[in-house]
Amino acid sequence: MKGLFTLLACAFALSMSLAHASPAKPQRVVSMNLCTDQLLMLLADPERIASVSYLSTEPDSSFVADKVLAAGYPLNHNRVEEIIPLQPDLIITGQYLHLQEAQLLRTLGFRVETFPVFNNLADVKANIQRLADLLGEPQRGKDMIAAMDARLDTLLQAVPKAPRPALSYHARGYTQGSNTLLHELMQLAGWHNIAADLGIQGYGPIDLESLVLAGPHALIVSHFAPGTRSLGQEYLSHPVLKQLTDGRPPIALDARLLICGGPMNLIALEKLIEARNAD
């Protein structure tokens, strides 16, 4: 404990000097959150990345796991004592994550910027541009957003006009209703999200009876860790689900495409459009 107090005292003195000599473009950026990890990897020069979270190396959840492992960036576990020695001039994380750690780091004089939850593509683009601005690279954000918009325009040209009813179904019987990124992607791809018709906002449970009565033409699933089994995942193998969709297999989306916001979201959209056209 004494060692930690000594470290914090040294960090306070150091951070005060950094606060007065911080460059216009942060040179030592630390990310404490998977979603900020991924945007940082996409927008920042490699030499300016001081650390990313350990979650960025998880292949089942991180879209940039291979790149992080290849680069060999220092990993953090969101602990203050890990981050202080890195002497970051910018720390980024999620708005509702690591609140105590973020506050302590601010108290010690470090610059901590948080990013809000995304519920649609507009939110995703706003987070991209905000990070690009914080990095002092606004044009990189504009270029990434322009590329996403161009890709979106191309994808939407292949969407059928008449939407089909569908519903996302996840482990433990959860679904995604309105005010979610998946809801918007479903609508864009020509699927009608009947979870929204049931009044479900955000992530929420749906019992099997309500699911059957809703009568979706297709089910959309997203396995977090393919090849694994759990009691929660047993919901997805219930025999009534196959009967409900006349034996059609569910539309499977890679969880890495939806956990965080970024260009990878459009890969999920493309797969939803392909499934709609193949229907």
Paired tokens of 213: 């009565």
pLDDT at 279: 78
**Average pLDDT score over the chain:** 88
pLDDT digits (tens, 9 = 90+) for 229-246: 544 455 566 667 777 777
Residue 104 or residue 3, greater confidence: 104
Lowest-pLDDT range, 127-141, 199-213, 220-234, 249-263? 220-234
pLDDT digits (tens, 9 = 90+) for 166-178: 999 988 889 999 9
* Domain limits, CATH 3.40.50.1980, in the chain: 2-115, 164-278
pLDDT at 5: 42
Structurally, what CATH architecture does the domain formed by 164-278 represent? 3-Layer(aba) Sandwich (3.40)
Answer yes or no: is pLDDT of 15 > 50.
no
What is the maximal distance between C-alpha atoms in the chain?
Answer: 67
pLDDT digits (tens, 9 = 90+) for 118-143: 999 999 999 999 999 999 999 999 99
Answer yes or no: is pLDDT of 53 > 90.
yes
Paired tokens of 191: 């699927």
What is the sign, positive or negative, of the torsion defined by CA atoms of 200, 202, 208, 214?
positive
How many angstroms separate the CA atoms of 121 and 144, rounded? 13
pLDDT at 204: 95
pLDDT digits (tens, 9 = 90+) for 148-207: 999 999 999 999 989 999 999 988 889 999 999 999 999 999 999 999 999 999 999 998
CATH of domain 2-115: 3.40.50.1980
191 touches 166 (CB < 8 A): yes
- Picking from 197, 201, 194, the residue whose alpha carbon sits closest to that of residue 177 is 201
